[in-house]
Amino acid sequence: MNLHPFLVAIEVGGTVAFAMSGLIEATRKRMDLVGVFSVAFVSAFGGGTVRDILLDRRPLFWIENQEYLWLVLAMVLTTPLWLKTLRLKFGGHLMEFADACGLGLFAISGATIASAADMPVLVSMMMGVVTAIFGGVSRDVLCNEVPKVYSDHRPYALCALLGCGVLLALDAIGLPLPMSTLAGIATATGSRLLAVAFDLRLPAWPAQRD
Amino acid sequence: MNLHPFLVAIEVGGTVAFAMSGLIEATRKRMDLVGVFSVAFVSAFGGGTVRDILLDRRPLFWIENQEYLWLVLAMVLTTPLWLKTLRLKFGGHLMEFADACGLGLFAISGATIASAADMPVLVSMMMGVVTAIFGGVSRDVLCNEVPKVYSDHRPYALCALLGCGVLLALDAIGLPLPMSTLAGIATATGSRLLAVAFDLRLPAWPAQRD
Amino acid sequence: MNLHPFLVAIEVGGTVAFAMSGLIEATRKRMDLVGVFSVAFVSAFGGGTVRDILLDRRPLFWIENQEYLWLVLAMVLTTPLWLKTLRLKFGGHLMEFADACGLGLFAISGATIASAADMPVLVSMMMGVVTAIFGGVSRDVLCNEVPKVYSDHRPYALCALLGCGVLLALDAIGLPLPMSTLAGIATATGSRLLAVAFDLRLPAWPAQRD
């Protein structure tokens, strides 16, 4: 289960991005210390844990690499040092940005790992989407918000799917791993950021007589 | 992990029934395309995934048989072709019918697989119930409805339990698999449909001074 | 996977305590029979199931020891015989007491088992906390209450963490298992009961400009 160092970097990046999105949401809600901790942990590790359970990868990634736990712990404890500064600089966009980065990074991490485990294309794409959205869904549920993936009608899961598609297509035509993963991440995160920036909305299902 | 072809047919039937119930619910809520997709997938695969995780059956049934994924995908994409017709013909009963069929088929699938894995009777019955209700519970949660299993006081989990009981009893006295499973499905689905048709209600727990 | 008899006793105690807390909550809500059953089962087995899945311990503890299932079944069926008496004697405190006992017992059970599986300290502590709170969280969600772990601002997960810390510290300095586990349980359950009795509250996260 040794990952390519490149994939480790992607996983760390996704963990940091989602932990940050959890911290922003939890502190905005004025949760107590334990609440902030648990939201940060669940956001950071939720998606990857579900991915590992579905694919039967054991030990789980945060049990095998307990540095991840220490990293998130350190992020939570140092929050007062950096969150305010970042917030003043980026305002409300910070949350959307962290969320979009986590989405892209975890989508590609899920799809690559599933693909490396010889899963067929459709399964790999689903793993990418599940890995990408589960952390964010749990974060929103814990913070008592309707999950972003359902509430805002701007594409979210679709961006993850798009990124996984690009990754697997480039992989199939033989591009080296770093290039195909980078392209996949850029597609997923980029399309989500564009969707937020231009307020793109998915069409609702055509109305039907009931 | 090769299942008897009869059990495969049951699993496919349950998947189609729950996918349909998810499609009906999601399109009624006017979800966007991604919402409709995810509700259909979660309804169809939720119960079986929990069953496989609890029993440690890997790969998961929809990873091993990716035809299931393609089947549900095809159902979602062709929804406009058949859902309206079915709805005009059966009206509001369609949802209850699809749901009751899924309940019975997945209950028996869960109990048979647990029983084949040498689980004791009580564990097999619980697996049947969990497999039967989890897809529907997730569907209702995603659609922001109080799960049917709790909200309507008509028997739901109890019908699944009854069907599993019939299956295991007939199995114990030596009936061949197709007969015992058919009797179990008929009991679970039939008792649920009767409960809905005659509006049977479970008695509430006797009131107590607090 | 043979546990020290002492650990079995802890697990049984925690199961009984959480099953009781589930019974109290579900009967208070006047759920029907099936509702009462399922809340009792989920409260009793939720935390341990998540622990076993995360640590990949199979078969699950309630599949391996199906006596647990019969025990909870017997508790539910005999509820009318004992719940009223206990309630008259202890009033509203009964729920808090059962919940605190379950919290302490499952926290120590989770941390000990993780530690025996050679998990590092931080992972063992997280396993203790997850095992301790998951049953109660599921109970509250099924009963349509905001989970205790988030809603009341009195320490809950923190008490579990404290108990696990005491357990692992005493274990590290070489105390025998029965002493370290007893001290851990006493710390977790005791600190929770004190927090409830004296209405201790965690400070909210310092306010921040948004």
Tens-digit pLDDT string for chain A (210 aa): 456 788 888 999 999 999 999 998 888 877 777 778 888 998 999 889 999 999 888 888 888 888 899 999 999 888 888 888 887 887 778 888 899 999 999 999 999 999 988 888 999 998 999 899 888 888 877 776 666 666 566 788 889 999 999 999 999 998 888 899 999 999 999 999 998 888 888 776 665 544
Q: How many inter-chain contacts (A to B, CB under 8 Å) are there?
A: 59
Q: What is the mean pLDDT of residues B21-44?
A: 84
Q: Is B202 on the interface with C (CB under 8 A)?
A: yes
- Token pair belonging to A122: 């459709």
* Interface contact flag, B33 A202, Cβ < 8 Å: yes
What is the tens place of the pLDDT at every residue in C139-171? 877 776 666 666 567 788 889 999 999 999 999
Residue B10 has pLDDT above 80, yes or no: yes
- C123 has a chain B CB within 8 A of its CB: no
Tell me how close the Cα of C104 comes to any Cα of chain B, in angstroms: 25
Structure-model confidence comparison of residues B30 and C18, the more confident one: C18
Nearest CB to B36; choose among A146, A205, A210: A205
Q: What are the sequence ranges of the domains in chain C? A: 5-197
Mean pLDDT, range C12-19, rounded to an integer: 92
- pLDDT, tens digit (0-9, with 9 covering 90-100), for A106-154: 999 999 999 988 888 999 998 999 899 888 888 877 776 666 666 566 7
CB atoms within 10 A of CB C82: 12
User: What's the rounded mean pLDDT across residues B192-201?
Assistant: 86
Is the confidence at residue B130, as pLDDT, over 60?
yes
Q: pLDDT (tens digit, 9 = 90+) per residue, B76-107?
A: 888 888 888 887 887 778 888 899 999 999 99
pLDDT at B166 over 90: yes
pLDDT of residue A140: 78
CB A31 within 8 A of CB C204: yes
Contact C157 A32 (CB under 8 A): no
CA distance C176 to C174: 6
Percentage of chain C beyond pLDDT 70 is 90
Query: Rounded to two decimals, what is the model's pTM?
Result: 0.86
* Closest partner CB to C203 (pick from A32, A84, A142): A32
Helices A33-55 and A67-77 meet at what angle, rounded to 10?
160
pLDDT band at B66 (very low <50, low <70, confident <90, very high): confident
Average pLDDT over residues C65-90: 86
Nearest to residue B63, comparing CAs of C37, A204, A127?
A127
Residue-level pLDDT at B147: 64
Min distance C53 CA to chain B CA atoms (Å): 8
Q: Per-residue pLDDT tens for C84-128?
A: 888 788 777 888 889 899 999 999 999 999 998 888 899 999 899
Which structure tokens are listed for B172? 């114990």
Query: CA-to-CA distance for A202 and B38, rounded, in angstroms?
Result: 14
Contacts of B158 (CB under 8 A, 6+ apart): B191, B202, C33, C34
The predicted structure's pLDDT at residue A146: 62
Tell me, yes or no, if C78 comes closer than 8 A to chain B by beta carbon. no
Q: What is the average pLDDT value for chain C, to the nearest integer?
A: 85
Q: Are A180 and A167 in contact (CB under 8 A)?
A: yes
Q: Does C31 touch chain B (CB under 8 A)?
A: yes
CB-nearest to C122 from A28, A69, A80 is A69
Q: Which residue of A has its CA nearest to C146?
A: A144
Neighbours of A147 (CB within 10 A): 17
Q: What is the pLDDT of residue C209?
A: 47
Query: Across the interface, which of C123, C150, C202 has its CB nearest the CB of A33?
Result: C202
| Per-residue pLDDT at B87 | 79
